[in-house]
Structure 1
Amino acid sequence: MGEHTVLVATEHEDATADLVIAELNQRRVPVLRFDPGRDFPKPAILTTQLGRDGWGGELTIGKRSADLASVRALYHRRPSSYAPSGDDQEARFTAEENRRGLGGVLAALPDCLYLSHPQAIARAEYKPAQLAAAAREDFNVPVTLITNDPAEAKSFAAQQPTIYKPLHAGAYEVSGEPAGIWAAPVGAGEINDTVSRCAHLFQARVPKTSDVRAIVVGERVFCARITAPPGVVDWRTEYRNLSYEPITCPQGIQRALHRFLAGFGLNFGAFDFALSADEAWWFLECNPNGQWAWLEHAARLPITAAIVDLLENGENTSD
């Protein structure tokens, strides 16, 4: 494999990454796909040495390799975590060494464009930090309470229509089947002492007419209006009954989106907004590594090309 490779770090089955890799291949851009958490230390081999200009050497996966000193971009999509291979002390030690070794080198590549930097993604995944940043950028942000006090939660829910949403969208199962924990309405009478078991996020419910997902790739912004059946709080529960249309992002919102991402050091963000009857945009959250592939087709938005432009050139291509 030649120099100036694009590294794509993601899980083995990732249809979204497949779209990007196919476009990179079409443009004849060298690309090496791997999953750091699963492919290292086998079949991946890392050999790197520190020089005056940073880390050099090779990352090899089977018969393919990349020159670490000349990687043009790292697309940090959705790689597996560096999980221990067992419950013993040695397995935990090994996993942490891999994370700090391979992960540390990948986070310190010289002259590499990150989409986005792994450490920046990790910082931006905290909803309290997101909401505080959104407030600083003068987004409309619903009144929000984070608490493990049932009495405080009851009092909050008694003051206005309220929703509950998880602070982390991790893997979850019900009776052995994959499930999601979605944003949902909650009344004061439904809140009990189980709130004391962990931190809970409660938010004033926005009287919305539709939602917007805004995908930001470098300097480019792509927005789609998502309309769900009446009364639906979280549109992700109604994928089969949604309609989509491209929507223009107001200039003020665009500028705030770029400032928000710059504050976290991100080159990508998938933002969710609620639109009220007066067309006000209400900030809900930003997923620093959110999904977009289905939206590209549904709303006819050229997101794949924008991502590949950035990975290939290290810069944006304007319309």
Structure 2
Amino acid sequence: MNRRPVLVSTGFEDPTADVVIAELNRRRVPVLRFDPGRDFPGLAALSARIGHDGWSGRLTVGERSADLAHVRALYHRRPSSYTPNGDDQAARFIAQENRRGLGGVLAALPGCLYLSHPLAIARAEYKPAQLASATRQGLRVPATLITSDPAEAKSFASEQVTIYKPLHAGAYQIEGEPAGIWAAPVAPEELNNAVSHCAHLFQALVPKTSDVRAIVVGERVFCARITAPPGVVDWRAEYRNLRYEPIPCPDEIRRALLLFLADFGLNFGAFDFALSTDETWWFLECNPNGQWAWLEDAAGLPLTAAVADLLENGESTSD
């Protein structure tokens, strides 16, 4: 690759990365796609040296390679984790060395735009930190309690209509099948000593007419109103019965979103808001590496072009 490449770090099946890579290919921007957790050190090979200008060397994947000193951007999508190839001590040691070796070099490339930086994404995935930042930026946040105390949980739920939602949307299975844990109402009488088994996030239910997914790419903000059937608390549980429409982002919300991203050092965020009956935007959460490809057609938002613009140019273009 003679021209500055874009590295795309993601798993084998990633439709969101697929559409971005197709657009970069159309623009003749060199792309090197790989999955660090699965490809290294088998299909992929690393050779990196430190110098006055930072890291140099090559990352080779199959028959393609990239000059580490001249990487244009790294699109950190959803790579596999560095997992041990075995249960023994040596396998665990190797996995950690790979993570800190390849992962460490990729996190310190000179002159590289990150979408977004892996460490920034990891820090922003903590919902308590998100809620604190959103409050600092002036966004409206529903009353929230994080607790492992059953009495505190019961007291909070008795003060207002309350929902429970997980602090992390990790893998979860029911009878061997993947399942999602959606936000759902919880009554005081449902809260018992099981609350003491781990931290729980409880939040006041916003009386809403619809939701908004706001996608921020660099400094560009795209918003879609999502209308679910009446009574649905978490629209993700009703994907087949949703209506979408693009809507403008109020100036004060846009400013707050950009400040939020700057607070975490992010270049991307997928924000969820609840719109109350008086059209107030209530901040719920931000996924620093959230999905967006389905909104391209559903709401008519030019998201692929926006992501490709940022990766190609290292900057966003004006709306």
TM range (shorter): over 0.9
1:23-42 equivalences under 5 Å are 23-42=23-42
Match of 1:277 in 2: 277
Match of 1:307 in 2: 307
Runs of 4+ deviating beyond 6 Å? none
| Cα distance in 2 between the residues matched to 1:203 and 1:141 | 9
| Cα distance in 2 between the residues matched to 1:153 and 1:90 | 44
SS of alignment partner, residue 86 of structure 2: coil
Q: Aligned pairs, how many?
A: 319
Match of 1:231 in 2: 231
Match of 1:203 in 2: 203
| Cα distance in 2 between the residues matched to 1:256 and 1:204 | 22
Write out per-residue CA displacement over residues 123-166 of structure 1, whole angstroms, 9 at most, x where no aligned residue.
00000000000011111100000001111101110110000000
Matched, 1:165 2:165: yes
| Cα distance in 2 between the residues matched to 1:10 and 1:192 | 41
Counterpart contact for 1:20–1:308, Cα < 8 Å: yes
| Cα distance in 2 between the residues matched to 1:29 and 1:305 | 13
Pairwise CA distance, 1:267: 0.2
| Cα distance in 2 between the residues matched to 1:315 and 1:303 | 15
Give the superposed CA RMSD.
0.6
Pairwise CA distance, 1:237: 0.3
| Cα distance in 2 between the residues matched to 1:262 and 1:86 | 40
| Cα distance in 1 between the residues matched to 2:159 and 2:240 | 34
| Cα distance in 2 between the residues matched to 1:242 and 1:109 | 41
Counterpart contact for 1:10–1:76, Cα < 8 Å: yes
Write out per-residue CA displacement over residues 42-101 of structure 1, whole angstroms, 9 at most, x where no aligned residue.
110000111110100100001000000000000000111111112211111111101100
| Cα distance in 2 between the residues matched to 1:209 and 1:130 | 24
Matched, 1:50 2:50: yes
Pairwise CA distance, 1:232: 0.4
| Cα distance in 1 between the residues matched to 2:3 and 2:100 | 25
Structure 1 residue runs without a partner (length 5+): none
SS of alignment partner, residue 57 of structure 1: strand
Query: Aligned AA for 1:219?
Result: E
Pairwise CA distance, 1:293: 0.3
| Cα distance in 1 between the residues matched to 2:77 and 2:274 | 26
Taking structure 2 as the reference length, the TM-score comes to 0.99
SS of alignment partner, residue 37 of structure 1: helix
Pairwise CA distance, 1:2: 2.1
| Cα distance in 1 between the residues matched to 2:152 and 2:107 | 41
Match of 2:185 in 1: 185
Matched, 1:286 2:295: no
Structure 2 residue runs without a partner (length 5+): none
Counterpart contact for 1:143–1:203, Cα < 8 Å: yes
1:39-118 equivalences under 5 Å are 39-118=39-118
Taking structure 1 as the reference length, the TM-score comes to 0.99
| Cα distance in 1 between the residues matched to 2:162 and 2:266 | 31
Counterpart contact for 1:3–1:67, Cα < 8 Å: no
| Cα distance in 2 between the residues matched to 1:155 and 1:86 | 47
Counterpart contact for 1:3–1:66, Cα < 8 Å: no
Query: Aligned AA for 2:183?
Result: A
Matched, 1:156 2:156: yes
Counterpart contact for 1:3–1:71, Cα < 8 Å: no
Write out per-residue CA displacement over residues 163-217 of structure 1, whole angstroms, 9 at most, x where no aligned residue.
0000000011000001001100000011111111100000000001100000000
Q: Among the aligned pairs, what percent are the same residue?
A: 78
Query: Aligned AA for 2:30?
Result: P
